[in-house]
Amino acid sequence: MSTKPSANYIETLKRFRRKAAELRESKLIKENFSVGFTMTWKASGLQVSVKEPDDTSLRAYLTTFRQFIMQKERINIDKVYTILQEHLKDEKLKGYLAKSQVYWQNACKKASFGMIYNKKHISPQEITDLFLYGDIFHGDQEKEVALNALFPHERNLFKCQFLEFVLRATEQILYVDRIIGKALDDDLFC
């Protein structure tokens, strides 16, 4: 039988909620962040353009967002799923949480189109890692080289997958936030 979550778990859940609120209130979300791409074939070759948010809004958003996906962060969504599965006493909410976790796992593994590069399937989560740590936040040399080796149309397809992952992950982060809010408000922890 589970015991009531320790103050540490409750603080983790409250931090998750605070950071989810930052995402919800961000300029990126308020401007209805969406993703799309256009592919055109011209005499000069394949061209891919990506519908993307402005760079400043995206970088500001990603500063908070990455805390939900980094393994070592205490509000990593996988860790929060585990906390909630262990300590929620409401079976209906646990069911919603389980469905959310499936959506999250799918977002990590596949997107609206598959990416095979150099005969290797590349997941949206791996592509996100390339952009976050090879370009946006850190200059991991290996990841930077991998991104710079892409042709412009390839980089745009990768960018589209990256942005789609951010969007799909955000949907689950905000969904889990609502579950946490309900559970905290109604004292649904055991």
CA geometry: angle at 8 spanning 6 and 13, to 5°?
100
Range of the domain at 104: 7-185
Query: Could you tell me the two tokens for 24?
Result: 């919800």
Phi, psi torsion values for 49, nearest 5 degrees: -115, 145
For position 86, what pLDDT does the model report?
A: 96
* Rounded-to-integer distance, Cα 110 and Cα 38, Å: 20
Does 28 fall in a domain?
A: yes
Q: Which of 38-42, 80-84, 94-98, 143-147 has the lowest mean pLDDT?
A: 38-42
For position 16, what pLDDT does the model report?
A: 99
Residue type, 188: L
**Total count of domains within the chain:** 1
Does 2 fall in a domain?
A: no
Q: Is the pLDDT of residue 1 over 60?
A: no
Does 190 fall in a domain?
A: no
Helix (H) or strand (E) holding 116: strand 116-117
Predicted structure pTM score: 0.89
Does 71 fall in a domain?
A: yes
- Residue, of 140 and 57, whose pLDDT is higher: 57
Does 18 fall in a domain?
A: yes
Q: Is the pLDDT of residue 175 over 70?
A: yes
Query: Could you tell me the two tokens for 36?
Result: 């799309």
Q: Is the pLDDT of residue 90 over 90?
A: yes
Does 154 fall in a domain?
A: yes
Place 42 in a pLDDT band, splitting at 50, 70 and 90.
Answer: confident
| DSSP of 91-106 | HHHHHHHHHHHHHHHH
Average pLDDT of the chain is 92
CA geometry: angle at 20 spanning 125 and 126, to 5°?
5
For position 73, what pLDDT does the model report?
A: 96
Q: Is the pLDDT of residue 5 over 50?
A: no
pLDDT tens for each residue of 119-154: 899 999 999 999 999 999 978 899 999 999 999 888
Q: Return the DSSP state at 4.
A: P
Interval 153-168 mean pLDDT: 92
For position 6, what pLDDT does the model report?
A: 61
pLDDT tens for each residue of 17-41: 999 999 999 999 999 888 888 888 8
| DSSP of 128-189 | HHHHIIIIIS---HHHHHHHHTS-HHHHHHHHHHHHHHHHHHHHHHHHHHHHHHHHHHTT-B
Residue type, 63: T
Does 1 fall in a domain?
A: no
Helix (H) or strand (E) holding 47: strand 45-51
Q: Is the pLDDT of residue 168 over 60?
A: yes
